[in-house]
Amino acid sequence: MQQLLENRPRLIGLPVLALMLVVWLIPPPGATHATTHEISLDATQYEYAPGRVHVNQGDRVVITLTAADVVHGFYLDGYGLERRVEPGVSQQITFTADKAGKFRYRCSVSCGPLHPFMIGELVVESNTPYWRATGLVLVAVGGMLAYLWLTGKNKSYQEVISGK
């Protein structure tokens, strides 16, 4: 096996790809008991309070959105939810957090110079995309190190540098 890999080091790509596939397909942890999260989200130039919200996948989320200074907006990436909120008039947004991952909520109404960067984060646990991405990167690094080890072993300095 080792001999085969030393002769044809690119074959290392096969187990690496298989491992990446496994990492990608690992099922997320079993669903927890779904609960309802009532969140008061206050928008001011140029932040939301709280700036980061954690819920579990499957939870029902009820956001009461208020604006403290000027007219703001709320757009939730990945879920496509959008609301406009004026000072003194709260808005309620209800949805089920059925997709895991980190989703940014951002102001959708031009509210001042830093408007494009007025961002908050909804983390829907178990945040499988993040853990899968981390796993994929580590597997890819392992594969690359194995490839470099195998290819460099019998190559001269000139062959390594020229990439032969």
Footprint on this chain of other proteins (rule: CB under 8 A) = 44, 46-49, 51-52, 75, 77-78, 80, 101-104, 106, 108, 110, 113-121, 127, 129-130, 133-134, 136-138, 140-141, 144-145, 148-149, 152-153, 155, 157, 160-163
Q: How far is the CB of 139 from other proteins (least distance, A)?
A: 10
State the minimum distance, in angstroms, from the CB of residue 71 to other proteins: 13
Give me the least distance between CB of 57 and other proteins, in Å please: 15
Residue 58 neighbours by CB under 8 Å, 6+ apart: 31, 32, 34, 96, 97, 98
Closest approach, Cβ 17 to other proteins, in A, equals 13
**Of residues 39 and 119, the one with the C-beta less far from other proteins:** 119
The smaller minimum CB distance to other proteins, of residues 89 and 149, is found at: 149
Alpha carbon distance 78, 103 (integer Å)? 6
Three-state SS at 53: strand
Identify which of residues 79 and 91 has a Cβ nearer to other proteins in the complex. 79
- Cα 13 to chain centroid, rounded: 26
Nearest to 60 by CA among 29, 37, 28, 85: 37
Residue 149 phi, psi dihedral angles, 5° rounding: -60, -45
Output 33 or 155, the one with its CB closest to other proteins: 155
Complex with other proteins: residue 58 or 75, whichever CB lies closer: 75
- Residue reference for tokens 């790509």: 13
Q: How far is the CB of 124 from other proteins (least distance, A)?
A: 12
User: Do residues 38 and 13 lie in contact, with contact meaning Cβ atoms separated by under 8 Å?
Assistant: no
